[in-house]
Amino acid sequence: MEITTNISEKEVIVTLAGSMYVEDAAVLREKLIGFIESGYKQFIIKLHNVDYIDSSGLGVLVAIQKKVLPKEGHVTLTGAKGVVKELFELTRLNKVFTMQA
Amino acid sequence: MYSFSSLAEFAILRDSIKRELVQTCEEDALRLFIAINEGVNNAIFHGNKEDSTKKVQIIIERSPEDVQIIIRDEGEGFVNTKESAGMELWDENGRGLDLIGLYVDSCCWNTKGNEITLVKKINPAYCKPFSTCTSL
């Protein structure tokens, strides 16, 4: 999986591409926690080019949301489609995140 | 049959497994792969506890009615204590078994608890006839 991060004002924009397996989830977790420790709390995660995300990837996104919400931060997911969108719906995690097209 | 000892070895096999599933039943291939991937993660991390001297095996079998997938590890065995498929929304872990349950028609463990059998009924309208299946 490709993980690209950019800072736009106070937001961290994370662009993901490919399939997110357990080994990718660990890398993503480390990167995003690094941003939180640096004071960032607003995350936009672009899923347009993600074709699969496993339960460990879903868990990392939940963990980040749990860390930033008490700081008045937020994780927004954009561009989920196909089976990725279906996974968020089936697990009801579409209720945990703001999901945008 | 696929046999491997680590996540790195499984990562190399993922594309082959996907291809076999597409050949076996294209319509359900991705969802079957999701179930297999979650089962294998459980086998490597919870079953074998990442012990690279222990193997995980995957067996994919096709019958006229269904696809049966066996995932076997060499761990101490798993006891499913979940009484329902209710996922805890804010939990960071523990969705793997729920995802398996969502994507197959049945899953059961052997007595020891180190082997899970997943069964997905197939829709003949979308799958190759049994006689031409190449996965057996």
- What ipTM did this prediction achieve? 0.91
Q: For chains A and B, what is the number of CB pairs under 8 angstroms?
A: 55
Whether residue B92 and residue A60 make contact (CB cut-off 8 A), yes or no, is yes
pLDDT for position A73:
97
Give the residue numbers in B contacting A (CB under 8 Å), as ranges.
7, 11, 14, 30-31, 33-34, 37-38, 41, 45, 87, 89-96, 98-99, 102
Query: What CATH number corresponds to the domain at position B122?
Result: 3.30.565.10
Contact residues on chain A for B11, CB-CB shorter than 8 A = 21, 23
For residue B85, being part of any structural domain is answered with no
Cβ of B92 and A23 within 8 Å? no
CB-based contact B73:B43 (threshold 8 Å): yes
What pLDDT was estimated at residue B88?
A: 84
Position B82 in a domain: no
The residue ranges of chain B whose pLDDT is under 70 are 81-87, 124-136
pTM of the model: 0.90
Asked whether residue B64 is domain-assigned, the answer is: yes
pLDDT at B134: 36
**For residue A33, what are its two tokens?**
């926690």
Q: Decide: A84 and A46 in contact? Cβ < 8 Å.
A: no
Whether A94 and chain B come into contact, CB under 8 Å, resolves to no
**pLDDT number for residue B128:** 58
Q: Do B31 and A83 touch (CB under 8 A)?
A: yes
Is residue B86 in some structural domain? no
Total domains present in chain B = 1
Within-domain flag for B27 = yes
Sheet holding A42-53, edge to edge: A2-8, A11-20, A42-53, A74-78, A98-100
CATH class of the A2-100 domain in this structure: alpha beta
Extents of the domains making up chain A: 2-100
pLDDT block averages, 10 residues each, chain A of length 101: 95 98 97 97 98 97 97 97 96 95 93
Confidence (pLDDT) at B127: 63
Q: Does A58 touch chain B (CB under 8 A)?
A: yes
Q: Which domain holds residue B98?
A: 2-76+94-131
- Give the pLDDT of residue B30: 93
Nearest CA in chain A to B87: A91
Query: Are B92 and A62 inside 8 Å of each other by CB?
Result: yes
pLDDT value, residue B129: 56
